[in-house]
Amino acid sequence: MSDLAGRRIKTSNAAAVLWIAGAIVLAGVPLVLSPYYAGLVVQMMVFALFAMSLDLLLGYAGMPSLGHAAYFGMAAYTTGLLALKAGWSVWFALPAGIVLAMLTAVVFGLLALRTRGSYFLMITLALSQVLWGIAFGWRSLTGGDDGLPEIPRPDLGLPWSMSGNTPFYYFVLFFFLAGAFVLVRVVASPFGYALRGIRESETRMLALGYDVWRYKFAAFVVAAAIAGLAGCLYVYFNRFVSPDYVHVVRSAEVLLMVILGGAGTLVGPAVGATVIVLLENLISTYTERWVTVLGIIYVLVALLAPNGLAGLIASTRRERTGA
């Protein structure tokens, strides 16, 4: 038992060092990269946060969802509308977006958590498409397929303006680190270990006296809150929101980020999001068939590394240690 505890402490310390090193590297990005590449890193942080929120459901609770973009898009529309049409400051618009995403998850969770497996996958897809239909059809409010352009960047009341690339980069970095910290604390808590137990065997957890439904419902709402935070940051970054934010393609994209990086690790989905955002931007500059190229990459990863990039690295390390 002491050896197991020692390995857990070493793993925890290694993860802490990895996160701290990553934060230091990210803090220095605007100092060494051009504004274009700094903006690319902003997109990576937003989608890394989005992917890690889905990983809480898929990787830790064992709930694959194809409707996670519903919370991303709901928060984006709420924040965008309040900033553009009501003139709300970021201190009210951003929390409002997160709260609406959580309320949406409460409603969807009451319906979706009655099902399991492929049925859960399909009902989350159907519920998210309801939001997409509303966003697409309610033109007087959402702008329809034209979206809402010219959403103002946040005004923090500081001497420097958020319209500048560097101040806005650090604004996103702060919330990315805050969201990542919350997720790390959640998965390392007794609640997180209970989710792992539910993923492995709901029946056994019920026999041990755990209220499985409440744990899954809480994870559903927490994941929606983090996805909502990512949506708020993305609408401020793009200064635009459209029905694409809640479309099934967005949900499938973030699901692939989790699978590519490796579910159940948090770091893996962040890496998967980074790789996909980077490849989308680089490959699209050379060919219009970049979606096909990405599809080939996904197939190769599924065949050669079914546990994702994080799983591939871990298995390679175990083989070397055994050797």
Residue 158 per-residue DSSP state: S
Alpha-carbon distances of 293 from 2, 38, 51, 256, rounded to whole Å: 48, 25, 21, 14
Rounded Cα distance, 83 and 81, in Å: 5
Q: Yes or no: say if 127 and 104 are a contact pair by the CB < 8 Å rule.
A: no
Rounded-to-integer distance, Cα 222 and Cα 21, Å: 26
Going by C-alpha positions, the residue among 158, 181, 185, 184 that lies closest to residue 171 is 158
CB atoms within 10 A of CB 82: 20
The domain locations on the chain are 36-250
Say how far apart CA 216 and CA 105 lie, in whole Å: 12
For residues 177 and 20, the answer to whether their CB atoms sit within 8 Å is: no
- Which two tokens mark 317? 């390390």
User: Measuring CA to CA, which residue among 18, 3, 24, 57 is closest to residue 226?
Assistant: 57
Contact 75, 205 (CB under 8 A): no
Helix (H, G, I), strand (E, B) or coil at 148: strand
- Tens-digit pLDDT string for the chain (323 aa): 445 445 555 555 666 677 788 888 888 888 888 888 899 999 999 999 999 999 999 999 999 999 999 999 999 999 999 999 998 999 999 999 999 999 999 999 999 998 888 889 899 999 999 999 999 999 999 999 899 999 998 887 666 767 778 889 999 999 999 999 999 999 999 999 999 999 999 999 999 999 999 999 999 999 999 999 999 999 999 999 999 999 998 998 899 899 888 888 888 899 999 988 988 888 777 777 777 777 787 787 777 776 777 766 766 766 666 65
CB 280 within 8 A of CB 290: yes
> Is residue 46 within 8 Å of residue 234, measured between CB atoms?
yes
Q: What is the DSSP string of 193-217?
A: HHHHHHHH-HHHHHHTT--HHHHHH
Place of tokens 């996904």: 298
